[in-house]
Structure 1
Amino acid sequence: MKQSTRALPSLGLRANAAQFTLLVAVNALVGGMVGQQQTVLPLLAHTEFGLNGYTFLFAYVAAFGIAKATSNWFAGTLSDRYGRKPVLLAGWLFAIPVPLMLILAPDWGWVVAANVLLGINQGLTWSTTVIMKIDLVGPAQRGLAMGLNEAAGYGAVAATSLLAGYLAEQYGLRPAPFLLGIAYTALALLLSGLFVRETHPHALLDAGNMAARGASARHGLDANLANGQVFALTSFREPALSSASLAGLVNNLNFGLSWGLFPLLFATSDLSMGQIGLLFALYPGVWGIGQMATGALSDRIGRKHLITTGMLVQATALAIIALGDGFGAWASGTVLLGAGTAMVYPTLLASVGDVAHPSWRGRAVGVYRVWRDLGYAVGAIIGGIVADLMGLHAALWMAATLSAAAALAVAVRMYETHPPHPQPDHAVDTAPMLPHDHTNT
């Protein structure tokens, strides 16, 4: 009996500091896989493949976004069913060919195919590290946990974007920047395979603690839901979950747009590749560092107002970038865009964790990330079409307008999710709509 008691998991950041830190490092490697190509690929498209149409150029971002969004769903569903660690390892296996394909690509089709694999890698690995950290820390420090997770990932995006830009300037667009991806993948497989431990028992402990407190239905939601019910709640029916999904989609629309558009916009002012790399690094850099503060702040003041304010700040930043013409103005805009995103990104994930029951938390996180990461594709496709028809600046104004509209939608529909409290009257009553005898789909 004593041995069994000692083997039980514990919740909390301090109790799980070693595993949490390891997962932070793994997620930094996940972010680095994106950073290796963000500065380089738009320039590679022009110089080596002769691509000029924005819509066609943005196709690789759309391919990445659709693959990542789809993989998020599988990551959540499979991690709830089979555990977190197998999904994490599978995600890193998809990363192995990516840098090699980018180095050897004879045409743009190879680049698009590599980004499909990269999207699968990102969906499986990033979703799983998010779920694992939520499992470990329990309810009290969820915002801090998400802030640290996302800070590591997007800090690595920024640092690797800057390093890849430097390597491209010194040694050419290929192969030097993509050697980073080979190193990141090898290290991640080593850490994930040998040192990361399964965290699903921590989620079961959290669910047991809730039941012991008589809190098995958080925010009025049932503990046992089928896959289709989780999808409907997170996407449309539950006010906080669906508001988070909408805000996440618009947030990543901005990121997807910037991924394909910013290097091209910055190149219109005859900036060096190093300056372009710096400008591109400022956005995820401020985003990454800022999340260490904003995630913890949301644990103290709540989620809703940070999300609303962050979307408005993003709208303002995009307007500044659209009006700017030169390094100084664009640097100010990208810093502000990073600050607004830092307010939103970990807070949205924490709010999903607040509302979703541990028994279907992985699936809820997966569905939220489906909608959020579809923003990459929506931003790339719509941004590319608008840029082709009306110019780069019109695409930025479009994104600014959508960000302001998302802020308004969150302000009107979302309720505060932290600290947990009974669901307000306007929220969905799931009991009559979600019968318990459905089988999983």
Structure 2
Amino acid sequence: MELTSRLARKNLLNPTFASLWIIMFVVEFVKGSLIVAILPVYMGDVLKLSAFAIGLSFSLQYIGDNVFRSPAGWLIERIGFRTTITLGLCITLGAVSIIAFLHTMGFLVLGCALLGIGTAPLWPCVMMGISAVTEQSKNFGTAMGVIQISSLGGTGLGPVIINFFVDGSNSYRPVFWFLLGCIATIIVVSLVLPGKKPVHLSASAQAVNTAGSTQGHSLWEGGVLNNIRKTFRQVRDNLHVSPLLYPSLFLQSFAIGLLTPVITLFVRTELGFSPETYSIMLIIGGGITVIGLIPIGKLVDRFGTRWFLHIGFALSATSIGLFSMIRSTPMIWMLVILIGISYALILPTWDTMISHMLPKGEKGTVWGLFLTIQGSGMVAGPILSGKLWDLLGPPAPFVASSTAMVILFFLHIALERHESSLSR
């Protein structure tokens, strides 16, 4: 009860934030189910498609999600918060329908691309919503921790739960109907989000409404191209951040992207762990991260971001680097725990730091731009990871990820000095 009352006082228990939490969880649940548990087997074993078709489909999903985040942020300012996210969810519903019912390679590739495009508005909308509802209470870190739980929880639970629906058979029709039902449900949920015109909105919803319609922007007013040019001028004139922020955004996700395609193979072949042991490892490491998100978010709101990111980057760089070299089982488990702690320190704190750098106008566009740059690391990381594994050996992607975190540690020090000089 005490936690609930505190959250209520902090304006997190409101329809806007709760709707965002549910939408984030279900979207990540659906994506995790498709990408991890369904599509590799469904496209390969059931539809007998080539590895090239599977790889192309996955690549287009990631590229669509990443490239369209900036336009999505721009659209929030023009057509409103609710319309943008509902439109994205409708595209997602169409994408899953194409994947489920049209079985040719061309349609499946198209479906995966549309899946990325449809989910692209999610993070810009969520960031705008959190920025707005926490503007008065100054608890962005706590809110970010709560949202990260929904994201990580959906991604992790999706593949686990969906396997009960598959049940060892090759019939995926019930699975697809279940996922389509999930998306249809959150489309209904999205309709309670604030739009451009406040009608009996709560204070938090009015804040999101204001954030999504800054300065009376309209998509068609003055022409779309003229609107885009005005946006670029406004962002250029009002966004005063260090140039070092842009490589920092890239490296933050690049370090994770380097490990994504090789971690399972490394644990199985180099460390000799069984699938069951690896699953326990993921549960422990991920569980520590999830448990730490809200407490760390609360501490960040109280004490600032500096030392949490300093410690997080240094701890992550050290533990990931050692993970590639050490073969002692007790030490490996200790490193898994340290990696979990390091990401609990980084995840809510990084986005809180970014939120402090946003200009007063065009917040949606800037969030979209930052998220696109950050997401590009998740596109580039897996591509380079395989090459490093083949050319330099299995430890190479881990050493590269550790090196990226070291560089990020020093870039963050420089960013802190730049922000301190601007505040004087």
| Cα gap change, 1:342 to 1:65, in 2 (>3 Å) | farther
Q: What's the CA shift string for 1:84-140, capped at 9, x where partnerless?
A: 111110111122244455556868876654443232233212221221121122151
| Residue 150 (structure 1) aligns with | 148
Distance in 2 separating the partners of 1:316 and 1:174:
45
| Cα gap change, 1:47 to 1:366, in 2 (>3 Å) | closer
CA contact (8 A) 2:12 2:143 kept: no
CA contact (8 A) 1:250 1:406 kept: yes
| Cα gap change, 1:137 to 1:188, in 2 (>3 Å) | same
| Cα gap change, 1:344 to 1:15, in 2 (>3 Å) | closer
| Cα gap change, 1:197 to 1:74, in 2 (>3 Å) | same
| Cα gap change, 1:106 to 1:284, in 2 (>3 Å) | farther
Of 8, 23, 28, 2:25 maps to 28
| Cα gap change, 1:164 to 1:58, in 2 (>3 Å) | same
| Residue 220 (structure 1) aligns with | none
Alignment of 1:10-409 (within 5 A): 13-14=10-11, 17-40=14-37, 44=41, 48=45, 62-100=59-97, 113-139=110-136, 140-164=138-162, 170-171=167-168, 175=172, 181-193=179-191, 195-198=192-195, 201-202=206-207, 226-227=231-232, 230=235, 238-239=241-242, 243-268=244-269, 276-280=278-282, 284-323=286-325, 332-409=334-411
Query: Match of 1:423, as an amino acid?
Result: L
Distance in 1 separating the partners of 2:378 and 2:400:
15
Query: Deviation of residue 154 (structure 1)?
Result: 1.6
| Cα gap change, 1:333 to 1:188, in 2 (>3 Å) | farther
Query: Match of 2:37, as an amino acid?
Result: V
| Cα gap change, 1:323 to 1:117, in 2 (>3 Å) | farther
Query: Match of 2:148, as an amino acid?
Result: E
| Cα gap change, 1:72 to 1:287, in 2 (>3 Å) | farther
CA contact (8 A) 2:254 2:377 kept: yes
Q: What's the CA shift string for 1:305-339, capped at 9, x where partnerless?
A: 22232222322332244236698766654543343
Query: Match of 2:250, as an amino acid?
Result: L
| Residue 219 (structure 1) aligns with | none
Q: What's the CA shift string for 1:221-277, capped at 9, x where partnerless?
A: xxxx8325526976xx612xx555433322322333343223333443776666555
| Cα gap change, 1:46 to 1:87, in 2 (>3 Å) | closer
Distance in 2 separating the partners of 1:88 and 1:295:
25
Query: Deviation of residue 77 (structure 1)?
Result: 0.7
Q: Which range moved further: 127-136 or 263-272?
A: 263-272
Query: Match of 2:155, as an amino acid?
Result: V
Aligned pairs, number: 388
Structure 2 stretches lacking a partner, 5+ long: 1-7, 196-203, 213-229
Query: Match of 2:152, as an amino acid?
Result: Y
CA contact (8 A) 2:25 2:150 kept: yes
| Cα gap change, 1:287 to 1:52, in 2 (>3 Å) | farther
| Cα gap change, 1:18 to 1:143, in 2 (>3 Å) | same
CA contact (8 A) 1:253 1:378 kept: yes
Distance in 1 separating the partners of 2:189 and 2:307:
37
Distance in 2 separating the partners of 1:274 and 1:109:
36
CA contact (8 A) 1:147 1:291 kept: yes
CA contact (8 A) 2:193 2:205 kept: no
Q: Secondary structure at the match of 1:305?
A: helix
Distance in 1 separating the partners of 2:108 and 2:394:
23
Q: Secondary structure at the match of 1:359?
A: coil
| % identity of equivalent residues | 16
Query: Deviation of residue 361 (structure 1)?
Result: 1.6
Q: Which range moved further: 340-349 or 243-252?
A: 243-252
Query: Deviation of residue 371 (structure 1)?
Result: 0.9
Distance in 1 separating the partners of 2:140 and 2:109:
35
Give the TM-score normalised by structure 2: 0.76
Distance in 1 separating the partners of 2:246 and 2:171:
37
Distance in 2 separating the partners of 1:64 and 1:33:
13
Distance in 1 separating the partners of 2:328 and 2:234:
49
